[in-house]
Amino acid sequence: MTAAAHPDEAEKARLDRELDLIRARREGDKRFFRGAFEDYTLLLGVIIGAVFFGGVFVMSSGWIAGDSVVIDSALSQTLLDPGGDCIDPEGQIWIKVYFDYDPHLIVAKSNNIGDDQATVMRMIIEPESPHSITEYIGGKGDLSRHFDPTDLADGEYNATFLVWIVDTDEDLSGKSSPELQQLVIDPVDRKTVEVEIESRSKGLFSPDLKQEVTIHDDEPRECWTVEGLGDWGWKLMGAEWIGGRETAMLTGGSAGIPAWWLAVVSLGMSLFFLCVQYPLMHKMYHRDVDDLLTEAQLRRLIRRTLRKAQNEVRIDIDFSLMKMQERAISIDVLLPYRTISTTIGDAVEIKAGLTRSLLEEFSIFGEMRPLQLKTLCVDDATHEAHEGARISLDVRSAAISPVEDYSSFFADMSAYGWLEAAAQTSLNRWFKKHDLAEYGTAVLADEDAVFVRVIYRPVTRFTYFLFKPSYRDMQDDLRDHLMRDLSPHLDGRDLIVSARNEKATLSDRAAAGRVEQGSDEFRGEAMVAKQGGITGALLQNPFMGDILSSVEYVAHKNRARIDKYGYWGLIVFVWIPFMASGVLVGAMLGLVARMRFQRVLAACLFGGTAASLTWAYTARGIIETMKQYHAEAFIPFVIALAVLFTIMHLRRNKRLRREELFRESMAFFAGAAPN
């Protein structure tokens, strides 16, 4: 008969040829480093990371010029730090004046005076009035003067601090102001600042007042040392990791960190993560246009994979009742099946075997959407008709028709007894060989096959790290072990073996790369195909898996904007100072929108650089504006609020993704299930 007489068969053959060609292309070159543009980008990212993180580590350690201020001093008053002139405190005597919010004191401290030198410090609070204060203190080395501003009324004052070095061996710490005044001639340093004091209500409905103190210092700031910049480099990285770029910039700006260093730290992190994670994500998600599966190809791939897998798990799939739903964020498959005489696994094992086969094919074809597979047993009570049924080692007994001659029956019973004893002895040696604890075994036989089912658990400590064999490895090893020991007793029958780790979960047995769990309200379990090598290790661990799923969700939600505005829209998306608009989300957006690797990389670089520079050079202005309106006390609150909003935003994205991922799947499975 011609192919035209069977159009369905001809269509299947065409789809199979197309799938085989795609498989051949994707399996052709599996080298991790293939010399493509993205490979050199990844190599550049590793170099950037080594230089950036290594440089910050060396700076913070103080091993090389830790006390030097040469970097900050050289960059101040340049285009990188306009208006940020600083003084080099190294080797010269200078006075630092600041307000300590806790314990609410004005503090003046001298610096760089030798520990053995006699020192006098004078404090003058003006204007000359009944509120004027003049006082001398003496001692050795650097002196620190604390003043409680609550002694002053509301208003503006000039606070002047002078420091003398006195040529004497006396201890000046116990001398009075008149005595110290007679010892001083010319001060080695003088500093004057403006102090503004204002009492305000503690709250909207509180009658109590609190005193707010603002110090205006027009002199250049103190230059940061190399070690100080390094220490703040780690703090800024931690703040950006926890609360985003905005939190890091506000934190650094409130501490007086130079704008150029804020920009360097933010850009360093952005370049590292973009040039490392984006190539890895590209390797995992990207597919050439010719390798993209159409809906028909995907359905054919799933059907032929399941047709092969049903023989491995020993079931009969009812393909006439099978349903599939393809969505942008998941692939849902409802799979009714019937058990056969050689079925030995329970519902969970059957589902795990089918899921594993599908995910292995998805990995080859580059299909990284989560798979939700719901299996449904539609035969009699041999197996539970729902997933997650309690594992049982019982096997139904076959009905025995009464006969007049019982000799063959008792002969079979004797043979089965010898077989079971030999199997149990062999199993005991196998458990001992692999240092396993037995959690249940069953050895059953009929005329056609011998069934052996084992549940084990490794005894080794730190099993997760030290016990590497999967349950499939152990199952194959057990079958080889039993075949050697039981060959004389099999008498031509098939040996069917099932081995399961007592601690293994469905995702473990399905060999999933990433698993997303539903909740009590939206139940389900979605699994993503596993990627091997460096890519899978870096991107499919539990920590990165959560981040990656959130990034995917935000990218899908914003794809319409990128499809509309393209390259320039991607730059603006990465640039805008809102949560979840960084370089990684932008890179994922480019992948989802199928933009060229180079264009996505360039757009994220431009947008990320613009975002870092914008925040770095406006953060200080935001802080100063808040101080101008006496709102500096709210700076910690604003920073904490930014962290809180970031955490809430991430939690919200995770919740919304879970709802969207499982709600429609639950509705699909409920509506598609056979009555």
Return d(Cα 567, Cα 6) in angstroms, integer.
Answer: 47
Return d(Cα 412, Cα 22) in angstroms, integer.
Answer: 53
Map tokens 């285009």 to a residue: 79
Most confident of 354-363, 464-473, 640-649: 354-363
For residue 115, is pLDDT > 80? Answer: yes
Average pLDDT score, the chain: 79
Question: Where does residue 493 rank: exposed (0-12), middle (13-18), buried (19+ CB within 10 A)?
Answer: middle
**Candidate from 20-24, 80-84, 159-163, 572-576 with smallest mean pLDDT:** 80-84
Of all residues in the chain, what percent carry a pLDDT higher than 70?
A: 81
**Candidate from 58-72, 197-211, 584-598 with smallest mean pLDDT:** 197-211
Alpha helices in 514-634 (DSSP H): 533-539, 542-557, 559-575, 583-592, 597-628
Three-class SS state of 208 = coil
For residue 398, is pLDDT > 70? Answer: no
Map tokens 């102090």 to a residue: 195
Tokens of 365: 């074809």
Q: State the average pLDDT over residues 566-585.
A: 76
Most confident of 220-234, 377-391, 523-537: 220-234
Residue 402: cis peptide before it, omega within 30 degrees of 0:
no
User: What are the DSSP calls for 288-308, one per residue?
Assistant: -GGGPPPHHHHHHHHHHHHHH
For residue 1, is pLDDT > 70? Answer: no
What domains are defined for the chain?
89-222 (3.90.280), 407-504 (3.30.70), 534-672 (no CATH)
- Specify whether the backbone of 192 is left (phi greater than 0), alpha (psi in -120 to 50) or beta: beta
Helix, strand, coil percentages (3-state) for the chain, rounded to 5, are: 50, 20, 30
**Candidate from 51-60, 82-91, 503-512, 559-568 with smallest mean pLDDT:** 503-512
Question: What value, to the nearest 5°, has the Cα angle with vertex 481 and ends 476 and 483?
Answer: 95
Return d(Cα 511, Cα 536) in angstroms, integer.
Answer: 12
- Predicted TM-score (pTM) of the model is 0.61
Q: Residue 154 belongs to what H/E stretch?
A: none
Q: State the average pLDDT over residues 261-288.
A: 87
Q: State the average pLDDT over residues 260-272.
A: 90
For residue 468, is pLDDT > 70? Answer: no
Q: What confidence score (pLDDT) does residue 406 get?
A: 41
**Candidate from 78-92, 393-407, 419-433 with smallest mean pLDDT:** 393-407
For residue 400, is pLDDT > 50? Answer: no
Q: State the average pLDDT over residues 466-495.
A: 81
Return d(Cα 111, Cα 95) in angstroms, integer.
Answer: 6
**Nearest-CA neighbor of 261 among 239, 229, 288, 227?**
229
> Virtual CA dihedral for 568, 569, 571, 572, nearest 10 degrees?
120
Q: What confidence score (pLDDT) does residue 121 get?
A: 92
Most confident of 164-168, 201-205, 511-515, 631-635: 164-168
Three-class SS state of 142 = coil
pLDDT digits (tens, 9 = 90+) for 314-348: 899 988 889 999 888 889 999 999 888 777 777 77
For residue 389, is pLDDT > 50? Answer: no
For residue 306, is pLDDT > 90? Answer: yes
